Amino acid sequence: MDVTELFVPWYDRIKPYKTDDIAMAWQNQDFHRMFVNENPVGPSEKIVEAVANAVRLGNRYPDNGVRIRKKIAEMHGADPDNVYIGNGSSEIIELMCRLFLAPGDEILLPNPIFSLYELRALNVGANVVSVDVTPDMQYDTDAMLAAITPKTKLMVLCNPNNPTGIFIPDEDIKRLLGTGIPTLFDEAYLEYHPDHESKDYLIKEFPNVVVSHTFSKAYGMAGIRFGYALADETIIQAFRKIQIPWSASLLSIAAAEAALDDTDGLRKKIEYNNAQMRYFYDELSGITGPKPYFSYGNYIIVDATDLGVKGQDVVDYLFDKKKIMIKAVKTLKDRPGIFRISVGTAEENRECMEAIRAFFATRKG
């Protein structure tokens, strides 16, 4: 018997999310992980202590984060019933796809954007409609609106966008949400910019929007796994129906609560990130040829297409010379020269810049 014949027809449309590089980095601690937008600064002692204390209660199932949902709700001027907590914001992406997409439906995505939305949508049998950003890396709102069909059942806006690092203008957000299409509004990197408001208030105006956050980026807890969604209570209750119970573990809830209290720790991480982002932008701007795009995330993209360079050439060079791992951005067909660097330690960032300068020096010759 061929058991695959019994699988749902769309199970084979995706490959497992690519984690080989992460596995390789874990096995080789001397490799420099500047490819998955991690925070190079680890959790503070306060977080470590909170997790250690929670471990002692690890024989018990967690609750639904009664305390932390209250805290998160207060931060966002919402009610705890508007808050869903889960295993990173990846879980929110999964729940959105499972709640809104049936086989044959369409998900509307700007391109380039974080790859997981597409994968999870394909995995529930939906089709992807991708709309390229404008030449200056902004969302092409007119083209997105024009790409909507009766089958469009989900849309994702990522603010600031990964990998382009831009914020979407308010008018564009309103125009897109005004379509009534269920929308995931992903604020994974927003905490790096406390001066930029969360669009949390949109959940009051638009029952079709879900705003998601993660502790994997500015809070530096990617391996601990904690994220949350804000939405109208109706959607939160639907998430609760389709979720896997206890997806946010006792340990991750404890870590997240401690991280929320550790405002000083968060501030230091933000200051560090933004100083290093400025360093990259200034240094990259000083090289003739490749074009860096200013970014509000913990990553920056550089486009070297006009030099006849492929993003992958730079990725391979940095890895061969210095075991620095960065990422090629390959989804813009006419811009194959884009690569993305995630902020590392100060030393890693200096080394990375040195290698990039050396790469482009050889190209000139």
Ligand X SMILES: Cc1ncc(COP(=O)(O)O)c(C=O)c1O
Which residues lie near ligand X (CB under 6 A)?
Answer: 37, 88-90, 114, 158, 162, 186, 188, 214, 216, 222, 227
The helix/strand count (H/E) of the chain reads as: 13, 13
- Shortest separation between residue 215's beta carbon and ligand X, angstroms: 7
Tally of CB atoms within 10 A around 353: 18
User: In the complex with ligand X, which residue's Cβ is closer, 162 or 349?
Assistant: 162
User: In the complex with ligand X, which residue's Cβ is closer, 131 or 287?
Assistant: 131
- What is the spatial distance between Cα 207 and Cα 179, in angstroms, rounded to a whole number? 12
Nearest to 37 by CA among 342, 348, 297, 362: 342
User: In the complex with ligand X, which residue's Cβ is closer, 109 or 188?
Assistant: 188
Give all strands (DSSP E) within the chain, no chain letters. Answer: 32-33, 83-86, 106-111, 127-132, 152-158, 183-186, 209-214, 227-231, 291-293, 299-303, 324-325, 327-328, 338-342
- Shortest separation between residue 78's beta carbon and ligand X, angstroms: 19
Instruction: Give CA separation, 79 vs 75, 178, 183, 232, in Å.
Output: 10, 23, 20, 10
User: In the complex with ligand X, which residue's Cβ is closer, 35 or 206?
Assistant: 35
User: In the complex with ligand X, which residue's Cβ is closer, 168 or 188?
Assistant: 188
DSSP 6: G
User: In the complex with ligand X, which residue's Cβ is closer, 206 or 219?
Assistant: 219
Q: Are 337 and 231 in contact, with CB atoms under 8 Å apart?
A: no
Q: Are 87 and 247 in contact, with CB atoms under 8 Å apart?
A: yes
- Shortest separation between residue 347's beta carbon and ligand X, angstroms: 23
Q: How far from each other are the two terminal CA atoms of the chain, in whole angstroms?
A: 60
User: In the complex with ligand X, which residue's Cβ is closer, 147 or 222?
Assistant: 222
- What is the spatial distance between Cα 114 and Cα 94, in angstroms, rounded to a whole number? 13
327-328 and 152-158 strand pairing: unpaired
Nearest to 324 by CA among 352, 345, 300: 352
Structure-token pair, residue 105: 């439906």
User: In the complex with ligand X, which residue's Cβ is closer, 95 or 258?
Assistant: 95
- Shortest separation between residue 166's beta carbon and ligand X, angstroms: 13
228 three-state secondary structure? strand
- Shortest separation between residue 358's beta carbon and ligand X, angstroms: 28
Residue found under tokens 């995630």:
342
- Shortest separation between residue 150's beta carbon and ligand X, angstroms: 28
- Shortest separation between residue 281's beta carbon and ligand X, angstroms: 19
- Shortest separation between residue 71's beta carbon and ligand X, angstroms: 18
- What is the spatial distance between Cα 256 and Cα 70, in angstroms, rounded to a whole number? 13
- Shortest separation between residue 70's beta carbon and ligand X, angstroms: 21
> Nearest residue by C-beta to ligand X?
88
User: In the complex with ligand X, which residue's Cβ is closer, 37 or 276?
Assistant: 37
